[in-house]
Homo-oligomer: A and B are copies of this chain.
Amino acid sequence: MINAMNFADRMAALARAKQSVLTLGIDPQLDSAKAPGVAPSYSLARFCCEIIEACADQVVAVKFQLAFFEARGIDGMRALAEAIALSHRLGLPTVADGKRGDIGSTSAAYAEAFLSGGDFACDAMTVNPYLGADAIAPFLEYVERGRGLFVLVKTSNPSSGDFQDLAAPERPLWETVAARVKEWGEKFVGQAGFSSVGAVVGATYPAHAERARKLMPRALILVPGYGAQGASAGDALAAASSGQAPGVLVNASRAIMYAYRGRLGEKPPEAARRAAQEMRAELARALVARHG
């Protein structure tokens, strides 16, 4: 069911075939049931699935923000399983964005949960590096089998510098994390030149993103922060490589899922599709402007 080809190679092939670096973030916000234009009977699963279907040809992957499903309990987890299954049927790789990480035996269970064969099995997931190498190791076993990993390096939020930017001691902590991500990823570099052990680097700090690319020349970089968090397409591509494959996945969540709020008379799926088309095109133009 899940492909065993190198994950970074799959993403490079999809980016080329679809001429897109956009990933669709599925973050069903807590107040979405109350949104105008969405009937109260509209289920969470249906809302997510309709948006995924509408955007399928515009995006290279679907990223699920697990928190919003957990917040809805068992029903939410069922909706998550349904939306993951639909994405796979549509040929879209999936990213479980849960920022997990724990002692080895527990990380192994997280890897089993999100990178193996169960209800929540995705193609890739995001992980938190605070616990160090042995918390990452169990996930690497799945990278060997075609899955992808995105380690938090420099996050997109306003306080991301609280700890990530501390001099630790001769360079910022996030740079030390980046150096480790490079090491962890070396044996997973695919034919397209990128590693399936990637990193999360927020679009909201473009100077950090350029530096991140220098520190991790082969990491596949997942870029949050484009759209609702305020970063431009140019900012979102600060870590794009100038080679044949850009090596970045630019995520937009709320700006796609909630596009209908700003588009009078459009249903959520139509509005999402239109927003995804615009963002894909904007990113493509910005990529040309950047590298020619």
Contact = CB atoms under 8 A, between A and B. Distances in A.
List the number of copies, as a whole number: 2
B102 A102 contact: no
A29 to B, nearest CB: 7
A210 to B, nearest CB: 21
Interface residues of A, number: 62
Contact of A134 (B65, B158, B164): B158
Given A81-B73, A109-B70, A168-B168, A159 B131 contact: yes
Contacts of A101: 99, 128
A131 B129 CA distance: 11
A226 interface: no
Contacts of A81: 73-74
Nearest to A99: B102
Best-buried of A101, A109, A119 by chain B (most CB within 10 Å): A109
Interface stretch (A5-13, A48-56, A149-157, A186-194): A149-157
Interface string A99-125: 111111111111011101011100000
Interface stretch (A169-177, A242-250, A263-271): A169-177
